Amino acid sequence: MSPLSILRDAWFFSSHNLLAIARLTLPLLLLEAIAQTLLAAQLGDDANPAYGVLLGILFYPLYAAPLILFLHARSIGQTPGNAQLFAAGLQLWPTFALMAGLSTLAIMLGLSLFIVPGIWIMMRLAFSELILVLRQEPPLRALQASFTMTEGRFWPVFACLANVLVPLWLLDWWTQPNPSDTLLWVLHQAGNGFLQLFAIVVLFRLFMLLEPQQATDENTD
């Protein structure tokens, strides 16, 4: 269960399902970027960043939940249509958005305490979205279950996510266009968001490897 093999498996899946993932997520990513642009224009330079974070929390479940459902369906040999995935994801939106808000608040609080606690919390909550969607757990139970599942597995989770997110964050910073160029900024935001969805594919692969181990440990106990 080396991070390299997990990243390789996730890349293989993503590259072979790139168009399907793009059709499923890009429309909403573009809509989110447009909404962010309109919000920034409405609020001006003195806008509170919290409004942008809140907008992201509202949009994120709309494409993250269908993507997780798509990954699960393909892993068991099924090919559901986008309409079916969106409908199932929409049913999960209230609980997913609530959990996303709670986890974002916890991570931001941790980051305010000299960064390291925020990174630790981020890794411990890494599987909460998958647990909420795949196990249909309520938000608090999904967060708790992620803490349990990542117990003693901080470094494998950190290695997988760091190898994905750090290069993408650097790319985002390096290629950030001027917000005054609205079309380019919208395309950049949507494209960067699409690339960062690869982290969900990586976490799903790691989750599928760890879940049987956790079940075995629980039966042993």
Q: Is residue 50 in some structural domain?
A: yes
Q: pTM (2 decimals)?
A: 0.93
Read off the pLDDT of residues 72-99 as tens digits, 9 standing for 90 and up.
999 999 989 999 999 999 999 999 999 9
**Mean pLDDT of the 50-63 span:** 89
Q: What is the pLDDT at residue 166?
A: 93
Q: How many residues does the chain have?
A: 221
Read off the pLDDT of residues 165-212 as tens digits, 9 standing for 90 and up.
999 999 988 988 887 788 999 999 999 999 999 999 999 999 999 887
Q: Is residue 110 in some structural domain?
A: yes
- Beta-carbon neighbour count of residue 110 at 10 Å? 18
Helices (H), strands (E): how many in the chain? 10, 0
Q: Is residue 221 in some structural domain?
A: no
Q: Is residue 25 in some structural domain?
A: yes
Q: Is residue 9 in some structural domain?
A: yes
Number of domains in the chain: 1
What is the 8-class DSSP label of residue 181? S
Read off the pLDDT of residues 18-49 as tens digits, 9 standing for 90 and up.
999 999 999 999 999 999 888 877 876 665 67
Q: Is residue 91 in some structural domain?
A: yes
Domain that includes residue 191, residue range: 3-207
Q: What Cα–Cα distance (Å) separates residue 45 from each residue in 40, 42, 49, 171?
A: 7, 9, 10, 24
Q: Is residue 185 in some structural domain?
A: yes
Nearest-angstrom CA–CA distance, 168 and 156: 19
pLDDT above 80 for 218: no
Nearest-angstrom CA–CA distance, 120 and 193: 23
Q: What is the pLDDT at residue 157?
A: 94
Q: Is residue 217 in some structural domain?
A: no
Nearest-angstrom CA–CA distance, 192 and 187: 8
Please name the residues in contact with 156: beta carbons below 8 A apart, sequence gap of 6 or more.
1, 3, 206
Nearest in space to 101 (alpha carbons), one of 141, 58, 133, 69: 58
